[in-house]
Amino acid sequence: MNKHIHILGICGTFMGGIAALAKQAGYRVTGCDANVYPPMSTQLETQGIELIQGFDVSQLDLNPDVFVIGNVVSRGNPLVEAILNRNLPYISGPQWLAETILHDKWVLAVAGTHGKTTTSAMLAWILEYAGLYPGFLIGGVPENFHVSARLPTLPTLPSPPGRGAGGEGAGEGVAQGEGGFFVIEADEYDTAFFDKRSKFVHYRPRTAILNNLEYDHADIFADLAAIETQFHHLVRTVPSTGLIVSNARSDALDTVLARGCWTPVEHFGEAAGWDIDANNVVRLAGVVQGELHWDLLGEHNRQNALAALAAARHVGVPVSHGLSALAEFKNVKRRMEVRGVVNGITVYDDFAHHPTAIETTLEGLRQKVGNARILAVLEPRSNTMKLGVMKDALPDSLHAADQVFCYAGNLGWDAHGALAPLGDKAVVETDLSELIAKITQFAQAGDHILVMSNGGFGGIHTKLLEKLAK
């Protein structure tokens, strides 16, 4: 009989990805969550994964080999208390993933405050395009794959060619994991109620991207220094035969690496390392590598591309192949995704929820639409935003928008006061229907409505399109 795991908190993107990987690996997979509903419930059930609503202790009768516990589940949860009281085997999602799936893989981990999902999707697609058929676990659905997680297609792969100075490929003598390549979005959020280290310390990457580093996750980190310590722990796990690809424009990452680094480092975002100019010409140490042709918006995505190209080169993919792959990259759902065009008004959906991400997303759209009006629609929904830690940075982050509409439902701070520096440019509402009404009254042909939230936002995209159509 196949081994059986029961996942607590299965409907999150990460734990849902683990469920999919376990099913592909031949496990019997069941799971439970407080909110079992589409689309994640549908995605899991179509894979033959049994779902249970809630955390009733009767689930102990399933008698799995191990309970895999997600970080949304805390002490006081009735099922957790029963597992502890009966001394039943349990493990965190990241640890199960590391021990069961990643242990024989060449892991390429993408860490950073911003751009993890997009950069992971770019890197996985570059490897796929090069015929390396990687496994991956990504916190979104890349349009090139239409799934967020899968195992490597090939059971074994040859070692990539050696990399001399300025040449292509991986470091000479580096052993390829027998199970192939695996790209993982490496989250700095904590692992579980019983393991407060960041998830990414479990992954043991051979190739690690440090995309950027800012203060975030105010619900678990006291300050930026606390997050830097977790990144330092990640750096400690990368072998000396591996590679760290780090953002040269991040002082915080420089601080992390200065605390100790035992691995070669390639920087991007500077002339001495990986760089890209206004014409999308990519250079490495000043030597032209080729030109990037694609439809993605914003300087942040150009930097993401550099990181992905550098990481792919480490496992043997020539930069020219990487650039060809990126020309066919389709991005990730909810990253500047066009949800519809009605009466000349375009509605976008984007995952941006941190002030830096909001600013770069708006600036990218501004580059695309020129002088056309941009209506920014914001839901401050993340734990950090709900705590109000970033509220003072919001006005500056929204400067590229012509009008701002903010949903302030369930906020513990004064959104009116926080956005007061924007004057009449900002509209704040606690009622979603009223907010939608004001947006549709203001919008006119030629406008671009950019909706930014890390949640479902009450189905605002569909409601806006329906109301605009009338």
What are the pLDDT digits (tens) for 301-352?
899 999 999 999 999 999 999 999 999 998 776 777 888 898 899 998 887 7
pLDDT value at 4 more than 50:
yes
What are the pLDDT digits (tens) for 459-470?
888 888 888 888
User: In the structure encoding, which two tokens stand for residue 137, read together?
Assistant: 């676990």
Beta bridge partners of 6: 30, 67
pLDDT value at 382 more than 80:
no
User: In the structure encoding, which two tokens stand for residue 313, read together?
Assistant: 């080169």
Residue 377, C-beta contacts closer than 8 angstroms, at least 6 positions apart: 405, 406, 407, 435, 439, 449, 450, 451, 452, 460
Beta bridge partners of 52: 32
4-92 CATH? 3.40.50.720
Amino acid at the residue 309: L
User: In the structure encoding, which two tokens stand for residue 446, read together?
Assistant: 């030629």
CA distance 81 to 74: 9
CA distance 240 to 236: 10
> Roughly how many angstroms between the first and final C-alpha of the chain, as a whole number?
57
Positions of E strands within 70-147: 90-92, 106-111, 135-137
Strands 426-429 and 403-407, how do they pair?
parallel
- H/E stretch holding 464 reads helix 460-469
Range of weakest confidence among 14-23, 153-162, 412-421: 153-162
CA distance 258 to 265: 12
What are the pLDDT digits (tens) for 184-216?
999 988 999 999 999 999 999 999 999 989 877
Mean pLDDT of the 240-261 span: 96
Positions of E strands within 334-424: 337-342, 345-350, 374-378, 403-407
**CA angle at residue 31 from 78 to 60, to 5 degrees?**
45
pLDDT value at 156 more than 60:
no
What are the pLDDT digits (tens) for 22-75?
999 999 999 999 987 666 777 788 888 999 999 999 999 999 999 999 999 999
Q: Does residue 320 or residue 143 have the better pLDDT?
A: 320
pLDDT value at 220 more than 80:
no
Between the ranges 181-190, 221-230, 362-371, 417-426, where is the mean pLDDT highest?
Answer: 181-190
Residue 391 near residue 413 (C-beta atoms within 8 A) = yes
A 10 A CB-CB count for 174 gives 21
Amino acid at the residue 155: P
Helix and strand totals (H; E) in the chain: 15, 23
Residue with tokens 């997009």: 118
Residue 335 near residue 360 (C-beta atoms within 8 A) = no
Residue with tokens 């991400």: 357
Positions of E strands within 321-467: 337-342, 345-350, 374-378, 403-407, 426-429, 448-452
> In the chain, where are the structural domains located?
4-92, 104-326, 337-469
Residue 163 near residue 171 (C-beta atoms within 8 A) = yes
Three-state DSSP at 414 gives coil
Query: For position 208, what pLDDT does the model report?
Result: 98
Report phi then psi at 374, rounded to 5: -115, 125
pLDDT value at 283 more than 70:
yes
337-469 CATH? 3.90.190.20
User: In the structure encoding, which two tokens stand for residue 415, read together?
Assistant: 């959104």
Query: For position 37, what pLDDT does the model report?
Result: 65
pLDDT value at 166 more than 70:
no
Beta bridge partners of 207: 108, 243
A 10 A CB-CB count for 184 gives 34
What angle do helix axes 224-236 and 251-258 make, rounded to 10 degrees?
50
CA distance 33 to 30: 11
CATH pick for 104-326 out of 3.40.30.10, 3.40.228.10, 3.40.1190.10, 3.20.20.70: 3.40.1190.10
